[in-house]
Structure 1
Amino acid sequence: MRPPLLPIVFWVVACALAMPLAAADNTPPPGFTALFNGKDLSGWQGLVANPPKRAQMSPDQLAAAQRKADRRMREHWRVEDGVLVFDGRGKNLCTVKDYGDFELYVDWKIKPKGDSGIYLRGTPQVQIWDYRDHPEGSGGLYNNKKHPSKPLRCADRPVGQWNTFRIKMVGDKVTVWLNDQLVVDNVVMENYWERDKPIYPTGPIELQSHGNTLYFKNIYIREIPREGP
């Protein structure tokens, strides 16, 4: 004897309603702002030199260089189906706004032999690369010399799958989680551009170009207010 069909239908519907719905891509969680809207490059601009060189430019020189960088950016960075795609040519993609202390989420994906990174305050970098060539994995502060540069563990997913960074930066110290695993624990991020100085108090978030195709989405930031003296 077959069981009554109607109770089964009600049970299936009830289970479906009880399951939490996953947030749509590029929709920030509470308290965060989306840096990438999933539609276009609003809020982003092309890279102009590095922080010390930008500081030496006059306003007119910087504006002219920025216009040129933006034209180049639009040639090599694009949006496809809610994903930010880099074609492997061109330079870094930078936020228009500068940030100080913050918590940042970034989903990223690479191809075989892929290499990239997340610049914090315009400074390299939280490393991204193919863990099969670099068994230590992604997430380390690659350019550190005095302080730890390698991640605590390899937490990368197989190449071609999406990975998620959660990055927290307060003062000059950085903590990184990769796919919910702690890989950098409150480590000083050194100033790559001026080794004798601490890292800059503010600067842009940058997605590093490194001569290979890259994919990014779900880029969210929460600014952390700084405590008074």
Structure 2
Amino acid sequence: MKLRRCFSIFAIALVGCVLGNGPNAFGQAEVADGFQSLFNGTDLSGWVIPEGDGGHWKVVDGVIDYDAMSEASGDKNLKTEQEFTDFILKIDWRLKQTTGLMDIPVVLSDGTYLTDRSGNNITIKRPNADSGVYLRGDSRAQLNIWCWPIGSGEVYGHRNNPKTPPEIRAALTPRLNADKPVGQWNRFEIILVDDRVTVMLNDQLVLENAQLPGIPEKGPVVLQHHGGMRNGEYSPASSLIQFKNIWIKPLD
């Protein structure tokens, strides 16, 4: 009888680990590795909610949920109260759904766009959604979250700037598209040291030691608002997104 009971307990524990309810789901590995949690799974303590937001940045079923409908008159992004310099950041995210079709350009491996004979960007209509993570509060140092073929993790603010040196634009362009389908959870692991960023997306290296020109020495982690309603419909690149399991390890 004792043997059967012990086996039952072991089976329940094993199933719990497989389903993500084991010890690591509660951050024991992160805590042991010196990480601190930026989200308690219950409320937005430790975050600065945009003034006048109207409850659109909220916690639903243990995750940060956003519907791209913030009523704030100014900055609509959600940011941490704390500011950070060098760090490792782990953050899980998923796009809930896409919104409409948009003309999406083809980004080449050097960060430039595929063009036709006249020099015009070649685009393909695709459904899209759009958000991102600002590093040290710098909108230019945003790791994009979207549905472009180039994949999430690129740094649009610098990669899209023709004045950015070619080698920097290329380094800020993802090596591969490591995104999971819309509706599934993804994980960024972001390492920022000085002005250099390395990004893993779903255990795939997408950026390696890429330079972020002019990034501040210190700043908050920011979750991006994008898009919203236009004429009663969502714009084609709205941030219908959720975040969870947000951990940071300062490297100071």
The TM-score bracket by the shorter chain reads: 0.7 to 0.9
User: Are the structure 2 counterparts of residues 222 and 74 from structure 1 closer, same or farther at C-alpha, using a change threshold of 3 Å?
Assistant: farther
Mean CA deviation greater in 176-185 or 108-117: 108-117
Q: Among the aligned pairs, what percent are the same residue?
A: 41
Give the corresponding residue for 2:113. Answer: none
Q: CA deviation at 1:174?
A: 0.2
Q: CA deviation at 1:135?
A: 1.0
Q: CA deviation at 1:159?
A: 0.7
- Is 1:172 equivalent to 2:217 in the alignment? no
- Is 1:44 equivalent to 2:58 in the alignment? no
TM-score, normalised to structure 2's length? 0.68
Give the corresponding residue for 2:102. Answer: none
Q: CA deviation at 1:123?
A: 1.1
TM-score, normalised to structure 1's length? 0.74
Give the corresponding residue for 2:143. Answer: 126
Where structure 2 has 5 or more consecutive residues not aligned to the other structure, the ranges are: 71-75, 99-127, 159-163, 228-237
- Is 1:98 equivalent to 2:98 in the alignment? no
Give the corresponding residue for 1:84. Answer: 64
User: Are the structure 2 counterparts of residues 200 and 106 from structure 1 closer, same or farther at C-alpha, using a change threshold of 3 Å?
Assistant: same
Give the corresponding residue for 2:131. Answer: 116
Give the corresponding residue for 2:226. Answer: 210
Q: Aligned with 1:75: secondary structure? A: coil
Question: Aligned Cα RMSD in Å?
Answer: 2.4
Q: Aligned with 1:29: secondary structure? A: helix
Task: Give the distance between the partners of 1:93 and 1:108, measured in 2 at CA.
Answer: 14
Q: CA deviation at 1:15?
A: 5.1
Where structure 1 has 5 or more consecutive residues not aligned to the other structure, the ranges are: 47-68, 191-197
Give the corresponding residue for 2:234. Answer: none
Amino acid at match of 1:44: W
User: Are the structure 2 counterparts of residues 36 and 14 from structure 1 closer, same or farther at C-alpha, using a change threshold of 3 Å?
Assistant: closer
Q: CA deviation at 1:126?
A: 0.7
User: Are the structure 2 counterparts of residues 11 and 96 from structure 1 closer, same or farther at C-alpha, using a change threshold of 3 Å?
Assistant: closer
Mean CA deviation greater in 160-169 or 9-18: 9-18
